[in-house]
Amino acid sequence: MLKLLIAEDVKTVRDMLVKAIPWEKMGIKLLGSAENGEEALAWLEREAPDLLLTDIGMPRMNGLELIAAVKARKPSVRCIILSGLNEFEHARQAVKLQVLEYVLKPIDPQEIQTVFMRAASQLRKEREARQESDFALQSAKEKLPNLMEGLPAEEWAGSLKKKKLVEQALQYLKEHYARRELALSDVSGSVGLSDKYLNVIFKEVTGMTMNHWIIRLRMEEASRLLENPGIKIYEVCDRIGYTDQDHFRESFKKQYGLTPTEFRNRFL
């Protein structure tokens, strides 16, 4: 369940946000509600939320200052802003990529639900993608030791050698995945094996082919770059080694369920 912290100085608004929104039904646990930015920041030290809903105009520490402080401590926290009309344009210019959504006052509970269901859905998709990647890597680390149990000494030593070779190939991929001309022969050459044999032991250890792993690394980097509106989508495509924007779009959507443009629009 995703965790939410609210920062709002007006008690009536704060109470409405706490009581009128069915957070539990949306799969969101409300950690609490703070009266100002300083109180919210102190709460963060006790238990970090996944989502922060903050007003802009608060005493002692305003919402923009709070977001900056939160991002410095916990970059993974996603922020949603409550804003009056007179603050809205200032917030857009000042915060840029730091927020998922803006909600204008006066607050409509139905709009709050819609915004948070959308934010929660996207956050879960991103987590699932990261978990799949982490699981694949963990499986790669655990698979060979399990397979080696009970093997003769010669086979055990051979399995260790495979694991070491795959680890070397993984390191090479992490360092060179963005190269446009990267070929499997480059990777296999870096560990002194044939393309075919390296692919066999790579999949045996990681559960994925080298091509699949390269795509995963490129898409993760693309998602990071897309959060910066100053980087054009064609530049993202180029930086991760793609020559065809249509191919990049298809690969990205397969990974995240959104096109690069749709993914970026969440931050604008």
pLDDT digits (tens, 9 = 90+) for 233-254: 999 999 999 888 889 999 888 8
What's the pLDDT band for 85 if we cut at 50, 70, 90? low
- Burial per residue of 108-124, b for 16 or more beta-carbon CB atoms within 10 angstroms, e otherwise: eeeebbebbeebbebbe
Whats the size of the chain, residue-wise? 268
Give the tens place of pLDDT for each residue, 26-74. Answer: 999 999 999 999 999 998 888 889 999 999 888 888 888 888 888 878 8
Asked whether the beta carbons of 218 and 240 are under 8 A apart, the reply is yes
Q: Per-residue pLDDT for 23 more than 90?
A: yes
- All domains of the chain in start order, with CATH: 2-124 (3.40.50.2300), 150-265 (1.10.10.60)
237 contacts: CB under 8 Å, gap ≥ 6? 222, 243, 244, 245, 248
CA 128 to chain centre: 9
137 contacts: CB under 8 Å, gap ≥ 6? 206
What's the pLDDT band for 166 if we cut at 50, 70, 90? confident
Name the E strands within the chain: 2-7, 28-34, 51-55, 78-83, 99-104
| CB-neighbour burial class of residue 37 (10 A; exposed 0-12, middle 13-18, buried 19+) | buried
More confident residue, 75 or 80: 80
- How far apart are the C-alpha atoms of 83 and 90, rounded to whole Å? 10
* 16-23 contacts at long range (C-beta below 8 A, 24 or more positions apart): 16/107, 16/109, 17/53, 17/107, 17/112, 20/109, 21/109, 21/112, 21/113, 21/116, 22/113, 23/116
Torsion from C-alpha of 202, 208, 213, 216, nearest 10 degrees: -160
The SS3 call for residue 248 is helix
Cβ atoms within 10 Å of 134's Cβ, excluding its own: 10
pLDDT value of position 224: 87
Q: Per-residue pLDDT for 257 more than 60?
A: yes
Q: Per-residue pLDDT for 113 more than 80?
A: yes
φ and ψ at residue 135, rounded to 5 degrees:
-65, -40
- How far apart are the C-alpha atoms of 238 and 190, rounded to whole Å? 24
Cβ atoms within 10 Å of 180's Cβ, excluding its own: 10
- How far apart are the C-alpha atoms of 126 and 123, rounded to whole Å? 5
The SS3 call for residue 100 is strand
Torsion from C-alpha of 176, 135, 168, 218, nearest 10 degrees: -10
